[in-house]
Structures are given as C-alpha cells and as structure tokens.
Amino acid sequence: MRHIISVLLENESGALARLVGLFAQRGYNIDSLTVAPTEDPTLSRLTLVTHGNDQVIEQITKQLHKLIEVVKLTDLSEAAHIERELMLVKVKAVGEQRDEVKRSADIFRGQIVDVSATTYTVQLVGTSDKLDAFIQALSGTQILEVVRSGVSGISRGEKTLAL
C-alpha cells in the first residue's frame, strides 16, 4: 500500500541525512521525498511517499519517531488529505503536434510555460495519478524531459501537523 508520511523535522544540518539514511539502512522504500523550511525557520516540513504492508509502515513510523530531530509526524493517507505534485514536461512540438500538445495540456489544466520553435514546456499540478495520466496522454508525442517535484500533502479540515 502507498502511504504519504508527513514529518516536522528540526531544521538542523544532518537531520535530513539521518532520515534518508534510516530508509537505506533498514531497506524501506522511498518513492518520493520533498523537503523545505516552514514559516518557522527552525522547522522543516517533509513529505515522503513510501509503500509497504501494514507491518512495514508501522515500523517506518516508529523508527522515524525515534530519530531525535523528528518533532512530529503523521500518515496523511490514513485520513482525508490533499496531495499535490508539480511536473514540468518538455516535449517535441512541431507541425500538427503543436496543437495536439496544447489541447492535451488544456484538458489536464496544464499550462505551457515555455515555448521554442520546436518545443513546448508544460507545467502541470495535481495528484501523482493525474501526472501519470498526462504522460500517458502524451504517448503520441516525443517527450524530451520530465521533472517531477515529488508529492507534498496536507490534511483536510481542521487537523494540522504543527507544534
């Protein structure tokens, strides 16, 4: 099962290395990872996508908790939540393809953020599934480059992950 784990981490050097090292050391998967400081510069917010059976996920959250710099964490996927990922795709766009790519981008509510004589760069924001679907939809087009940010997430409603 896919899980989205959100972590508040002390914004200290070495903290991120420790967290990533834990996954390597214990053989857990990291599908994606995003991290940046929060409005409080002493804290970083990290969103991590992983997968495993219930027992593995339980160990992951427990082991994360044990890291001294981890302040709080939550498994977002256990309740209603919002997840977003940003993708930039550079595609070959010449002749008829130019229209076709634009149409696909419109359907997916993407934006063309850069243009050259032979390429378009499309920006798309959404769930990871939606980004996957867009790539599928481009199957007739030559994809030159894909950059994805990894998932960021937040709980729905009044629930928060804060100090």
Partner 1 sequence: MTSQSKHAEMLSGAAMVIRALADEGVEYVYGYPGGAVLHIYDALFQQNKVKHVLVRHEQAATHMADAYARATGKAGVVLVTSGPGATNAVTGIATAYMDSIPMVVLTGQVMSHLIGEDAFQETDMLGISRPIVKHNMSVRRPEDIPYLIKKAFYIAQSGRPGPVVLDIPKDMTIPSNKFPYHYPDEIKLRSYQPKLKGHSGQIKKAVSALLAAKKPVLYSGGGVIMGGAAAELTELAQYLNLPVTNTLMGLGAYPGEDKQFIGMLGMHGSYEANQAMHHADLILAVGARFDDRVTNNTKKFCPDATIIHIDIDPASISKTINAHIPIVGLVQPVLEEMLATVKQKKKKLDSSALEQWWQQINDWRAVHGGRYDTTSALLKPQHVIEQVSKITKGEAFVCSDVGQHQMFAAQYYKFNKPNRWINSGGLGTMGFGLPAAMGVKLNFPQADVVCVTGEGSIQMNIQELSTCKQYGLGVKIINLNNGYLGMVKQWQDMNYESRYASSYMDSLPDFIKLAEAYGHVGIRVTKPEELQPALQRAFVELKDQLVFLDIHIDPKEHVYPMQIPGGAVNEMFLSKTERT
Q: Which of 1, 2, 21, 142 binds partner 1 (CB under 8 A)?
A: 21
Nearest to 69 by CA among 43, 30, 39: 43
Give how many residues touch partner 1 by CB under 8 A: 18
In the region spanning residues 28 to 67, those forming contacts with partner 1, defined by CB under 8 A, are: 55, 58-59, 62-63, 65-66
| Residue the block writes with tokens 């894909």 | 146
Q: Indicate the residue among 74 and 121 with the shorter CB distance to partner 1.
A: 74
With vertex at residue 160, the alpha carbon angle to CA 155 and CA 162, rounded to the nearest 5 degrees, is 135
Q: Which residues pair with 36 in a beta bridge?
A: 45
| Three-state DSSP class for residue 137 | helix
Choice between 78 and 129, CB closer to partner 1:
78
- Interface characters, 71-110, with partner 1 (x: CB under 8 A): x---------------------------------------
Tokens of 124: 């798309």
Q: What are phi and psi of 32, to 5 degrees?
A: -155, 160
The site for partner 1 (CB under 8 A) is made up of 10, 14, 17-18, 21, 25, 55, 58-59, 62-63, 65-66, 68-71, 163
